[in-house]
Structure 1
Amino acid sequence: MRMTKGNLSKTDTFKPMTFPLFGFINKRRSRIIRFYCIGWTLAFIFLSIVRGVGTVELGNIQLSFEISLLIAFTMGPIVGFISGGAQILTEERIYKHVSIRRLLLINLLYFYLFIMVVVLISYGIFTLYLDLNINITSFAFDRGSFAIYFYVIVVDLLLATLRQVNLMLGEGKLGGLLRGKFYTPREEKRIFMFLDLQASTELAERLGHVNYSMLLQDCFNDLGIALKNEAEIYQYVGDEAVLTWNLNEGLQNENCLRAYYNFTALLEKNGDLYQKKYNCKPIFKAGLHSGIVTVTEVGKYKKEIAYHGDTINTAARIQGQCNALKSELLLSEKLKKELASTNFTYTPMGSIPLKGKKENVVIYAVRENSTS
């Protein structure tokens, strides 16, 4: 819950996206679960090696190295699934929807509950593989257990930190960066969408820079719904956002178009909240283009995965024509031909000269069919 100024109510918050946590496991959620399952399995294997090679257990429970590894491979996916589910819950239902103080309290409660769950799972698995003759209380407070609890908390914090780094770089980019995938520039076929907030200068002057920044925060939080359409949020530049798709994923089910309309539908759904908090209903206009781009790692002291190429410039220029052509969504003729969609209506806007382009670009306005 955020504290606000002026005409903003202290109790006003934006509801997070309403789809259920495990109502469906999409690509993004499965990637998170897989990351945590692998991370926790490796962490438990590391613990088995450290405690099982050339060391003696201090507690009453003695494990052979082989049994310790078996337990690690059993516990890793289970704990990873729980930890990954908690991360999904945090990203989709909690983060940016509570105050920092309340978020810290939630984190403390989470660590307490998480340790309890780990103890219960451990006791069950140890009972499965060993002939334990102690109760769960003695098991939980066995000599040396608190060092393991500390290790579990540190691992969970490390995985959460790596998850945040992954989000900063872009979904799924961290692994490629560590493998050196982006060290040498390479070409990809992609779709780019540039989204721009209408009347942004007027809104910034009226709201002031703090409240205007909060407006953008809420808008870009709602933009997360585009991930349901396989979008990758590439950049935020001021009041502008850039989405991109692998060409095939963007064309499939018209994801690159549906992402825009799902986003605008969510803005409309939250319209009363925006009106109450900011005395406006935000409208975003967008331009799309497809083509070959180069992707590479740039920067020495601040690394970023960057896309370069005329495709990006053209998409930006097409978006810049939205006001002049009085259209909320424009796309190039090239992308239109690749889509071959029957769920949208395309209106030719002519061959338009774009800044920096030697030849004119044929542009179409897009409108969603009511039956789509």
Structure 2
Amino acid sequence: MKRTIQQYILFTFRSILFWVLAFSFMIVIRYFGIFEEKGVSILPKYELPLIDLLSYVAISAIPFGIFYAFVEFLFDRFLAKNLALGVIVFTKNFIYLVILIFLVSYVVEYSGYMLDVSLEEERGWWRTNKTFWSIMIYFVVASLVFSFIKIANEKFGRGVFFKMLTGRYRKPKEEQRIFMFLDLKASTTIAENLGHYTYSQLIQDCFYDLNVIVRKYDAEIYQYVGDEAVLTWSYKRGIKRNNAVELYFGFLDRITSRSVYYQEKYGLIPEFKAGIHGGTLMVTEVGSVKKEIAYHGDVINTTARIQSQCNTYHANVLISEALLQKLELPEKYHTQKIDDLLLKGKSKTVTIYSIDKVARVGDSS
């Protein structure tokens, strides 16, 4: 809950910042008379200095930014799973448009002064006012831009979209990253029992639950490969608050909290196994038609092979010793050395540990 609140506050701050900039850009255009109607003077028509106007605009943008973030949060939390992306974008922008019309219609004096719209008309004036609708279109376009940035950020991972825009990965870059390979247990048996359609629904539900908690632990989803998800962190974020380990158990708690749903719909409660490892590798852009960020190096191969040992040692989570030593796991976790393994394709052994959560007294699980 604490992490969710922190993320919501951070997103609200970003929303406010975006709308302060959008409102300010609009008022600058109006202030200098850009795009004015034919025959109308383009000289500044506001009596207040521009800096004072921008201050008022910033203040007025704050409640809208808070409202915008709240609507986005509600859609992401409760509706994103069941609605198509296009429907979500259209519905949200329709809500914003209605709220804007309401605010401008009822906060007449202030809105008219700030937007430079003549409001000396009876209620419903906005239906035929061209200047008003040009401003509304501006806000709708700004909202679409915000949605596009948010979608792109979710597609590529937090911060990756901006790095692609700036060309950071046009040439391969060396980075330290942590990876987790998360795989459904007994997937072949489950697929045979459920059938391919119901099995696909199960995977869809599991990965939706994964997405719900990913942001809480500062993780990025690198790939979905069948019933397997590959997650990654920068080394700093993965080690911070033990995110690289906490995510697995947070995901486990999420699945457990919805165990009744899974049991009723699929007749089972899905279980996952994970392999975790970190180190130095190369990051670069690949492709031109379907451009994406790719990671190349031994770290990924080693992580995959660590995960493949989960069945052999009947473990839920396996982690390399090199990464485990970087973490400061609390007492609620129990670690046990598995062995010094010579993984396939490796010339040196890799020491692997299992991680389990210590059951508390009175815990039925």
Q: Shorter-normalised TM-score: what interval?
A: 0.7 to 0.9
The 1:23–1:188 alpha-carbon spacing in structure 2 relative to 1, beyond 3 Å, is: closer
CA distance in 2, matches of 1:304, 1:205: 33
What is the match of residue 318 of structure 1? Answer: 306
Q: CA, structure 1 residues 342+187, in 2 after alignment: closer, same or farther (shift >3 Å)?
A: same
Q: Percent identity?
A: 34
SS at 2:5 equivalent: coil
Residues 177 and 280 in structure 2, CA contact (< 8 A), matched pair in contact too: yes
Distance 1:153 1:342 in 2: 48
- Once the two structures are superposed, the pairs formed by residues 214-253 of structure 1 within 5 Å of their partners are 214-224=201-211, 225-253=213-241
Counterpart check, 1:291 vs 2:270: no
SS class of match (1:24): helix
Q: Does structure 1 residue 159 correspond to structure 2 residue 152?
A: no
Give 1:47 shift: 3.1
Query: How far off its partner does 1:140 sit?
Result: 4.3
Shift of the alpha carbon at 1:35? 4.1
- CA-based RMSD: 3.4
Which residue is equivalent to 1:110?
95
Partner of 2:311, secondary structure, is helix
Give the aligned partner of residue 348 of structure 2.
359
Q: Measure, in 2, the Cα distance between the counterparts of 1:99 and 1:45.
A: 32
The C-alpha deviation readout for 1:50-103, integer Å capped at 9, x for no partner, is: 4433554699xx943937655544444443332233222211222114588985
Are the aligned partners of 2:340 and 2:351 in contact in 1 as well (CA < 8 Å)? yes
- Please list the CA deviations of residues 171-222 of structure 1 after superposition, one character each: whole Å capped at 9, or x if unmatched: 2222221122222222222211110011112222332333222211111111
| 2:183 partner amino acid | D
Q: 1:323 to 1:23 in 2, by over 3 A?
A: closer
User: Bigger CA drift: 235-244 or 221-230?
Assistant: 221-230
Out of 100-109 and 178-187, give the one that drifted further.
100-109
- Aligned position for 2:288: 300
Change (3 A) 1:55 1:338: closer
> Quick check: 1:37–1:77 contact (8 Å CA) kept in 2?
yes
Counterpart pick for 1:44 among 23, 27, 32:
23
Count of residues paired in the alignment: 349
Does structure 2 conserve the Cα–Cα contact (< 8 Å) formed by 1:287 and 1:329? Answer: yes
**Residues in 1 aligned to 2:89 and 2:175: alpha-carbon distance in whole angstroms:** 41
Aligned to 2:75: 90
TM-score (norm 1): 0.81
Higher relative contact order (CA 8 A, sep 6+): 1
Give per-residue Cα distances to partners, 1:325-345, cap 9 Å, x unaligned.
110100111112111424221
State the match for 1:25 in structure 2: 6
One-letter amino acid of the structure 1 residue matched with residue 273 of structure 2: K
Q: Indicate if the aligned counterparts of 2:97 and 2:136 stay in contact, CA closer than 8 A.
A: no
Cα–Cα, structure 1 residues 72 and 185, in superposed 2: closer, same or farther, change >3 Å?
farther
The 10-residue stretch of structure 1 (134-143 or 40-49) with the greater mean CA deviation from structure 2: 134-143
In structure 2, the CA distance between the partners of 1:348 and 1:104, relative to structure 1 (3 Å rule), is: closer
Q: Provide the secondary structure at the position in 2 that maps to 1:362.
A: strand
Tell me which residue corresponds to 2:33: 53
- Give the conservation status (yes or no) of the 8 Å contact 1:123–1:139: no
- State TM-score, norm by structure 2: 0.82
The answer to whether the Cα contact below 8 Å between 2:108 and 2:119 also exists between their aligned partners in 1 is no
Q: CA deviation at 1:289?
A: 0.6
Shift in Å at residue 282 of structure 1?
0.6
Decide which moves more: 354-363 or 29-38.
29-38
Judge conservation of contact 1:123–1:136 (CA < 8 Å) in 2.
no
1:255 aligned to which of 243, 257, 265 = 243
Secondary structure, counterpart of 1:324 in structure 2? coil
Secondary structure of 1:338's partner?
coil
- CA distance 1:249–1:108, change in 2 (3 Å): closer
Q: After alignment, is 90-99 or 332-341 more displaced?
A: 90-99
Worse overlay, 234-243 or 142-151: 142-151
| Stretch of structure 1 that moved more, 111-120 or 216-225 | 111-120
Give the match's secondary structure for 2:76.
helix
Go from structure 1 to structure 2 and tell me whether the alpha carbon gap of 1:25 and 1:136 turns closer, same or farther (over 3 Å shift): farther
Amino acid at match of 1:92: R
**Inter-CA distance 53–68: structure 2 relative to 1 (3 Å threshold):** farther
SS of the residue aligned with 1:341? coil
Residue 339 of structure 2, aligned match among 350, 353, 356: 350
Give 5+ residue unaligned stretches, structure 1: 1-18
Q: Which residue of the partner structure matches residue 187 of structure 2?
A: 200
Alignment check: 8 A CA contact 1:286 1:330 kept: yes
